[in-house]
Amino acid sequence: MNNFYKDAKEFAITNIKPYAKETDNNGEFPKVIFEKIKNAGYFSLLVPKEFGGKGLTLVEHESVCRAFSEYSSSVGLCYMMHNVGLVTILDHGSDKLKKEICEAVVDNKKMLALAYSESGTGTNFMNTTEITVDYQKDFATFNGKKSMVTSGNYADYYVTLVPYKTAGETEQWLFPLGSNGLIFAENTWNGLGMRSNVSCEMLMNNLKLDYHYRIGAEGKGNEQAQSPVPFFINGLAAVYSGLSQAILDEAVNHTTNRKYPDGKSLSDIETVQLHLAEIFKNTKASILLSKNAAESFVNGEVDAFLNIVSARAFSCDKVIENARLGMRLGGGKAYNCHGNMERFLRDSLAGQVMAPGLDFLNILTGQLVTNK
């Protein structure tokens, strides 16, 4: 375990764990948690040192996302999205925009998020059919909506994919919170799991933005959207690996402390031990795959992307199995929402519907393995 994982875990125990269940129950964005994350400097993790940040890599990104997710996968997800949005600006923003956003993150502790998905196109982000853009001399005007925008109405900037003038081409723009015509419909969010990430609809009603907020070259959104993919996919692998660790900890705690009248614990039963062993193996394999994927990317290994994709697919698949077994071990208490296992079960199911979908990831893994 590197120091960033250890430090982030200690931070999460004190600053995330006490609030996680309540914010999930209320379906509220965990503002108090993110104030603590901001003040601790975690938003500057990937900001280059020349702009006052820590200048770190996918390895540290994976570690922090995983540690946060052990106590709230919603928090891990929203934090991950901030880093992905930031990487997009760092990779493609103009020098002026890059400097502005880095200073906003470091000095004013501003938060970023992504606004890619649309209800009509599912996980195919490049089909931007629900937005129109009127390109004028000094500004562009946006109308339409995005669906399931993580940290909706709470992040300060939203990296948004929109259609360009030529059919099939897109652009990325940065939408500042508070812009005239930018509206978040928070009442559209009622998630089954990861409830406190508040993935609501983002509406644009004659939203006018100066070209300063266009990210990179005209019509290059499709290409630009590829560079932060490792941080997005590996970040999700870390989120679900962290959630698996949470399920394992909850299962061990419950089965060792649940006592029978003769003094024996639930964990003395062989069937229970079999289930605990399965959860343990799934969890440790998920963590190792997620860590290895990040390290292979930073080291420039040829199979780095394959490692990242397979880590995401494996962690998403196994966390659901872990939650199912965890509920079985928790029995009536888990079903009656004592402890956290019921929340972990709901959170685990989100991985199936988050882009890129599990089936797509498994197909892509097979293609990468055979170099198709």
Q: How many CA atoms lie within 13 A of 249 on its CB side?
A: 12
At a CB cut-off of 8 Å and minimum separation 6, what does 333 contact? 254, 339
**By percentage, how much of the chain surpasses pLDDT 70?**
97
Note the CATH number of domain 114-222: 2.40.110.10
Sheet of strand 157-163, all strands in order from the earlier edge strand to the far edge: 112-115, 157-163, 170-176, 214-215
CA angle centred on 29, ends 14 and 128, rounded to 5°: 130
- When the pLDDT of each residue in the chain is averaged and rounded to a whole number, the result is 94
The H helix count followed by the E strand count for the chain is: 12, 8
Q: Distance of CA 13 to CAs 9, 67, 71, 157, 246, Å?
A: 6, 9, 7, 28, 12
Taking the C-alpha atoms of residue 257 and residue 255, their distance in angstroms, rounded to an integer, is 6
Give the separation between CA 137 and CA 131, rounded to whole angstroms.
Answer: 19
Q: At 202, list the tokens.
A: 């983002």
Domain 3-110, architecture per CATH: Orthogonal Bundle (1.10)
Per-residue pLDDT tens over the stretch 11-59: 999 999 999 999 999 999 999 999 999 999 999 999 999 999 999 999 9
Q: 186 phi and psi, to 5 degrees?
A: -65, -25
CA distance 114 to 20: 22
What pLDDT, on a 0 to 100 scale, did the predictor assign at position 86?
Answer: 98
> Strands 182-185 and 214-215, how do they pair?
unpaired
Identify the residue whose tokens are 């956290």.
Answer: 340
Q: How far is residue 70's CA from residue 351's CA, in Å, rounded to a whole number?
A: 15
CA distance 128 to 150: 18
CATH architecture of the domain formed by 229-369: Up-down Bundle (1.20)
Q: Average pLDDT, stretch 196-205?
A: 95
pLDDT for res 122: 61
**Residue 1: per-residue pLDDT:** 42
The pLDDT of residue 359? 83
- Which amino acid type is present at position 185? A
**Mean pLDDT to the nearest integer, 59-65:** 98
Q: For the residues 283-291, what does the mean pLDDT come to?
A: 98
Please report which helix (H) or strand (E) contains residue 170, including its range.
strand 170-176
Q: Where are the domains of the chain?
A: 3-110, 114-222, 229-369
Predicted pLDDT of residue 121: 63
Q: At 158, which helix (H) or strand (E)?
A: strand 157-163
CB 175 within 8 A of CB 115: yes
Quick check: 118 and 129 in contact, CB under 8 A?
yes
CA-CA distance, 360 to 52, in Å (whole number)?
38
Mean pLDDT of 310-314: 96
Question: How far, in Å, CA of 301 to CA of 287, rounded?
Answer: 19
Residue 2: predicted pLDDT? 58
Count of residues making up the chain: 372
